[in-house]
Amino acid sequence: MVEIKGLSKTFRGGFRALDNVSLCFAQGEMVALIGASGSGKSTLLRHISGLMAADGGGGTISIDGQSVQKDGVVDRNIRAVRANVGFVFQQFNLVGRLPVLTNVLTGGLSRMPLWRSCLKLFTAEEKALGLEALARVGISDHAYKRASALSGGQQQRAAIARTIVQKARVVLADEPIASLDPESARRVMQTLADVNQLDKSTVIVSLHQVDVALRFCPRTVALHKGRVVYDGPSNALTETMLRELYGSEAEDILGGSNSSLTRPAAPAPASFDSIPALAVAA
């Protein structure tokens, strides 16, 4: 379980990117993080991974009961926590000159003795696991190519294979499909959904494509100016709510009258802090 309580982040110059965020993600959930550009999605993911420390003032993040950070200080055992957290970023974070399989096997490095991880010596069993993970994401044919020779979508799937080898309980994906064509994007999202369903990993994915969030993620969290303004079933989001959320970006994000979002609203569950609250929150 990922638990975030009272988290705020103020950047130098006084800009508040996260404003008292409290969220809880149960093990095995697949959750979309949406919101206009600059709403705080990447900042939140960086905090969950312990790459960034929040403001002091009592905010906490824990994963499976292990502290990631507390009161503005990243836990000193963060490496142990990170061993269970996989990352898939928009900028493909593979080492381009190394073979795809080597990149995937680095997912297991944190569980290896230090001397072996330094030398990147992998056993036959580890290689078999890496090849199995590549087969699962549908790119085993590319195992021995340089990572830089793969397409963007294939690189993202390799990054997901790395989280499989890592046995990550939580996968944080920051705009993993932002620079992909629609078919590659669909395959990457399907691969993330498979990891979520087969491995029961918690997947938290920031997305600009609301249609994709609706299709793959049962739950959506929407941020506006660093605040959570919606947390509930993706299929209860309405076009009106989304237009309010995205403001001037709405036309680009939601498209015209053919958008799959132009449909009647589902009844909103009582627990929603619905988008109309933006008027109050802003």
Ligand X SMILES: Nc1ncnc2c1ncn2[C@@H]1O[C@H](COP(=O)(O)OP(=O)(O)OP(=O)(O)O)[C@@H](O)[C@H]1O
Tell me which residues touch ligand X (CB under 6 A). Answer: 11, 15, 17, 35, 37-43
For ligand X, the closer CB: 147 or 278: 278
CB within 8 Å of 48: residues ≥ 6 apart: 2, 4, 61, 63, 68, 85, 170, 172, 204
Shortest distance, CB of residue 195 to ligand X, whole angstroms?
Answer: 22
Report the C-alpha gap between 195 and 28 in whole angstroms.
10
For ligand X, the closer CB: 199 or 211: 211
Shortest distance, CB of residue 90 to ligand X, whole angstroms?
Answer: 8
Q: Phi/psi at 33 (nearest 5 deg)?
A: -110, 115
Shortest distance, CB of residue 44 to ligand X, whole angstroms?
Answer: 7
Shortest distance, CB of residue 229 to ligand X, whole angstroms?
Answer: 13
For ligand X, the closer CB: 35 or 176: 35
Which residues make beta-bridge pairs with 33? 206, 221
For ligand X, the closer CB: 15 or 252: 15
Neighbours of 267 (CB within 10 A): 6
**Residue ranges with strand state E in the chain:** 2-10, 16-25, 30-34, 60-63, 66-70, 73-74, 85-89, 170-174, 202-206, 219-224, 227-233
For ligand X, the closer CB: 137 or 185: 185
Q: Which helix H or strand E contains 212, and what residues bound it? A: helix 210-216
Shortest distance, CB of residue 74 to ligand X, whole angstroms?
Answer: 15
